[in-house]
Structure 1
Amino acid sequence: MKFSDYTYQRPDFPSYQEEYNQALSALKDADSLAFAKEAVDTLNRLRGTIDTAANLASIRYSINTNDAFYEAEDEFWNTYQPHFEALDFKFYQTLLTSPLLPELKEIYPETLFLFAESRVKLFDESLIELFQKENQLSSDYGKLVASAQIEFQGQVYTLAQLRPFTENKDRKIRQEAFEKQTAFFADHETEFDQIYDDMVQVRTEIAQKLGFSNYVEFADTQMNRWDYDRQMIETYRQEILEKVVPITQKLYQRQAERNQLDHATYIDLPLVYPTGNATPKGTPEALVEKARIMYHEMSPETGEFFDFMVEHDLLDLLSKKGKQSGGYCTFIQDYQSPFIFANFNGTSGDVDVLTHETGHAFQAFSSRWIKEPEILFPNFESCEIHSMSMEFIAWPWMDSFFEDETEKYKFAHLASGLQFLPYGVLVDHFQQEVYEHPNWTPEQRKQCWRELEKQYCPERDYVEMPDLDRGLYWFRQGHIFESPFYYIDYTLAQVCAFQFWYRFIVAQDETAWQDYLAICQVGGTKTFLEILSLAHLRSPFEKGALDDTLAAVDQYLSEIPESQLK
């Protein structure tokens, strides 16, 4: 069955609610473990069906925001998702108050109960209208970004399609592309400001009505940060600022010298090499075929998985009009199918998507045995280990994608991973400041962004970009709008992925694959630090872990002569 044949049916909420409540009553009244297990399994099946419908509607709407049918379905889910969540809230309450709780904990993963404990703190039926409003605001942001139709050199492009021009060897073309890109956000500044202002107010109201002092506390609970807290995050951010930023500035200086620039401004940053950045060779179809060969050679498990993805048309990779920006991976429960969404644009990012999102999808495929929808994927900081590590595991096959530009790709790929860390923690720091000051004006938010940007990313000189210089850059960072506080997770995972990079590429550690496979197979049944222990990786919060990892990456990059990067 192809993805196009997967059946979407809008659920009838009253009928579903009745069936759900019957199973809940069975769980509440269960006088034996067998009866309790039967009720939980029934609830998992019901919740999986809803998860499937919501995912199908979301995927198909993201592929074409101009599809009237799925736009209506998106509005349905924005309205009804909180009602379905209200039922799940009752499930978590019933589960945690069951007299058979000790016995249930023996047969279901511990993280299901940790998740339940988090969720009962995050929901109240009286707040459904606020949750609905938040959902609609998120859709409004996605639709606004997807609406971009930018005239450039006689053609019309989406934001994703415009990106290759920002990496062009010709500086005038780069500058014009950046100006067009930024102009879209500046032209719609009032709309972006209003959407975000409404989001901050709604989220703050939700958090305070649930007893949190602010939305930061709410978000850390929502993100299931079971192994670490906000204070540890703040310390980690400071470590990045003090230890990583000096290394990134050294890399940017090396890039400027390579490009024969006395001073590089923001427009110069995307061009890593004067001869042009490494680009993948071949059509999108050829790249997918190269990926198929790679995954067959990598392991039997990845070969079987990638065949499944291709045979069922579970990759939507091409950028097109009306398609939402970005890339993601999700899992369609009733069809036991991962799904990958991307926007190919002819840059090295196309290959990154085929490795990064495939890392997510392979983990989900490997964890199909997990029937609880909320723990098929682990928490975000753990999820991203699978994806970012897969980018490095794929390095031995990069010559098939980049041919004579392979070394250029690898150097830029590793360096950009390091350069990402300060930006990743900047996004978290900015959001913390915003939600600790919910009454800030849009201008104050932009000023805060720019001040933090100068600390974490001092290489960003916006001398030619006045709109960015006054703090508009974050408008394009969808996570800030749609998935608040989901970003520092990428940096935590990147530090872990660097360790896998060292084991696979530098040390040639023969045990590395089995460790990677092991964490893909446990899904979300373990916490972040438990996953790191299983993979034999050091925690980013562990004293000295950051130092050793940074030293290894810095040394590797420093030892690559410029002669190899022509």
Structure 2
Amino acid sequence: MKFSDMKYERPELDAIKRQYIEITRQFPDCSTASEQYDLILQHEKLMSNFQSMGTIAYIRNSINTVDPFYEKEIAFFDSNNPVFEESVQNFYKVIVASKFRPELEQKTGKLFFKNLEISMRSFSPAVIDLKKKENALVTEYEKLLASAKIEFSGETLNLSEIQKYQISSDRPTRKAAWEKTAGFFIENSKRLDEIYDELVQNRTSQAKILGYNNYVQLGYDRLGRNCYGPDEVKQFRDQVAKDLVPVITEIKKSQAKRLGLPDLKFYDDKSLFPDGNPNPKGDRQALVNQAQKMYRQMNPLTGEFFDFMVKNELFDLDSKKGKAGGGYCTEIPDYRSPFIFSNFNGTAGDVEVLTHEAGHAFASYLSQSMPILELRTPTMDAAETHSMSMELFSRKWDPLFFEEQTDKFYLYQLEEAINFIPYGCLVDEFQTTMYEKPNLSPDERKHVWKELEAKYRPWINFDHLPFFEDGGGYQRQHHIYSFPLYYIDYCLAQTAALEFWIASEKDWDESFSRYLTFVKAGGSKTYEELVKAAGLEYPMDQGCVKHMSEPIMDWFRRHA
């Protein structure tokens, strides 16, 4: 079904609660595991419908943030998601206590129960009001960023649209675009400071109520992390600081030389070539057509998937006024449909959407036959491996998008991929520090960000650029406000994706076959199990980052 034809109805929460009360009451009295499994499937149907309606409302609100109808619907879900979650958690309690647990585990797998136990300890009715407030603050933040109207070069631009000027081949234009962007954040800095402080205090209060020392472990539990904790992530970040940052510092020296500059300023960091970064050929429809051709050639499954996306118009890609910034992939389980949202701006990022977000969508498409929603999607470290790996597996088809600029894009893509990892670690260490020290002032928070910039991106010179020079850069990173502690998943995934790419350089078909095995498993295995089953080195293991970076540096020496 086309997305435009998907019917939205606000869920009748009272009716849903009554149904949950009934299946929760019946569950312990069942005389067989089969009867209990049937009740689990009833729960899956209830959850699928509630999530589907919430997702449709979210997408339509993202497409037009000033639509009053969906603005009200988002407010409904902000307020009632925690109420729905209470019903779900009550049902999880009786599942975990099942007298037929061994028999149920034969149908669901043991990880299903482990994940429920993690979910249960991260929720209590006592935090519902705090979660409602948290949701409202996140929505306010996203709306504030979406409201940006930046006057530049005779145009009125949002934060997505101005990005093309931030990477202009003309250095004064780049600098001016970043100064204008800084102006928007300076103008709104007081409220951005307040929103973040309220979020940190809110999440810390939730953690204390639930018996955690601080929000860090609660955040991990809410992300469903089931095979590692903050200590292992710190070890990974330490590897990056020790083994990868010096490597990228050398890459950045080569970039400065390529640009004819003595050193890189902040506004040069994303500009990799003196004549401008590679841009794809054609408008949005042309790029989608080329992507369809690519996926049909790549594999029968990827072709079937992308044809489904095109037929059902499961994209909204053009940037327009009133549209939320950024990009994402989500899924609408009742319609067994992924959906890709983005803001095309004529840069290489447009193609990256058609590979990265399509990697998420492909995994979602393959998982739709799984009856248990909780097992369709793995933890986000694995989910981001789906997407980041697809970006790199698609390199064989990059000439379709970039034509004579393909070689330039090859270099651009790999530099961006490896350069991202230290930035992601910066974001993660910043957030971890914020929740370990929740009472820092706004100025102290900015000081921490500035110190971490020097640790993870020592090549950056801010050149007295307002806002960014003072450590305010974290306020433009959506995940810090909206998806706490998520960002390290990108770093772990990028590491695994680069391992897949290294293998694909030797044997693309064999590497892609292992990738398909990884994706088809959905959420039935932990991240560690998925990585090792795919024959990859686990990012947490000492030496992994160094082993990954060495063949990439060899490639740069041959091609840069």
**TM-score where L is the length of structure 1:** 0.98
The answer (yes or no) to whether the contact 1:33–1:100 under 8 Å persists in 2 is: yes
Give SS of 2:162's match: helix
2:416 alignment counterpart: 416
The answer (yes or no) to whether the contact 1:292–1:306 under 8 Å persists in 2 is: yes
Taking the aligned partners of 1:179 and 1:165, their CA distance within structure 2 comes to 11
Deviations 1:437-490 (A, max 9, x none): 111111110011001111101122111403211111111100000000000110
Q: How does 1:41-56 map to 2 (within 5 A)?
A: 41-56=41-56
Taking the aligned partners of 1:352 and 1:256, their CA distance within structure 2 comes to 24
Question: Structure 2 regions of 5+ residues with no counterpart?
Answer: none
Deviations 1:247-299 (A, max 9, x none): 11111110111111112211222211111110000011000000000000001
**RMSD of aligned alpha carbons:** 1.0
1:564 alignment counterpart: none
2:441 alignment counterpart: 441
Taking the aligned partners of 2:467 and 2:36, their CA distance within structure 1 comes to 59
Q: How does 1:124-143 map to 2 (within 5 A)?
A: 124-143=124-143
Shift of 1:537: 1.2
- State the identity as a percent: 38
Give SS of 1:410's match: helix
Kindly provide the amino acid, as one letter, of the partner of residue 121 in structure 2: K
Q: Is 1:523–2:522 an aligned residue pair?
A: yes
The answer (yes or no) to whether the contact 1:51–1:373 under 8 Å persists in 2 is: no
1:501 alignment counterpart: 501
Taking the aligned partners of 1:466 and 1:166, their CA distance within structure 2 comes to 15
Taking the aligned partners of 1:241 and 1:515, their CA distance within structure 2 comes to 29
Taking the aligned partners of 1:98 and 1:313, their CA distance within structure 2 comes to 43
1:33 alignment counterpart: 33
1:450 alignment counterpart: 450
Q: Which runs of 4+ in 1 moved over 6 A?
A: none
Taking the aligned partners of 1:263 and 1:512, their CA distance within structure 2 comes to 38
The answer (yes or no) to whether the contact 2:381–2:527 under 8 Å persists in 1 is: yes
Query: Which moves more between the two structures, 363-372 or 272-281?
Result: 363-372
Shift of 1:511: 1.9
Shift of 1:520: 1.5
Kindly provide the amino acid, as one letter, of the partner of residue 541 in structure 1: M
Give SS of 2:341's match: strand
1:545 alignment counterpart: 544
The answer (yes or no) to whether the contact 1:26–1:35 under 8 Å persists in 2 is: no
Shift of 1:75: 0.3
Shift of 1:410: 0.8
Number of aligned residues: 560
Query: Which moves more between the two structures, 256-265 or 292-301?
Result: 256-265
1:252 alignment counterpart: 252
Q: How does 1:137-536 map to 2 (within 5 A)?
A: 137-504=137-504, 506-536=505-535
Kindly provide the amino acid, as one letter, of the partner of residue 535 in structure 1: A
Taking the aligned partners of 1:372 and 1:133, their CA distance within structure 2 comes to 30
The answer (yes or no) to whether the contact 2:24–2:94 under 8 Å persists in 1 is: yes
The answer (yes or no) to whether the contact 2:244–2:545 under 8 Å persists in 1 is: no
The answer (yes or no) to whether the contact 1:45–1:371 under 8 Å persists in 2 is: no
Deviations 1:96-122 (A, max 9, x none): 011111111111133321221111111
Give SS of 1:343's match: strand
The answer (yes or no) to whether the contact 2:366–2:520 under 8 Å persists in 1 is: yes
Shift of 1:127: 1.5
**TM-score where L is the length of structure 2:** 0.99
Deviations 1:22-62 (A, max 9, x none): 12222221111121111111111111111111111111111
The answer (yes or no) to whether the contact 2:182–2:466 under 8 Å persists in 1 is: no
Taking the aligned partners of 1:536 and 1:8, their CA distance within structure 2 comes to 43
Taking the aligned partners of 1:554 and 1:386, their CA distance within structure 2 comes to 24
Query: Which moves more between the two structures, 268-277 or 346-355?
Result: 268-277
The answer (yes or no) to whether the contact 2:328–2:341 under 8 Å persists in 1 is: yes
Taking the aligned partners of 2:376 and 2:343, their CA distance within structure 1 comes to 25
Give SS of 1:316's match: strand
Shift of 1:509: 4.5
2:72 alignment counterpart: 72
Taking the aligned partners of 2:512 and 2:273, their CA distance within structure 1 comes to 33
Shift of 1:225: 2.1
Give SS of 2:467's match: helix
2:94 alignment counterpart: 94
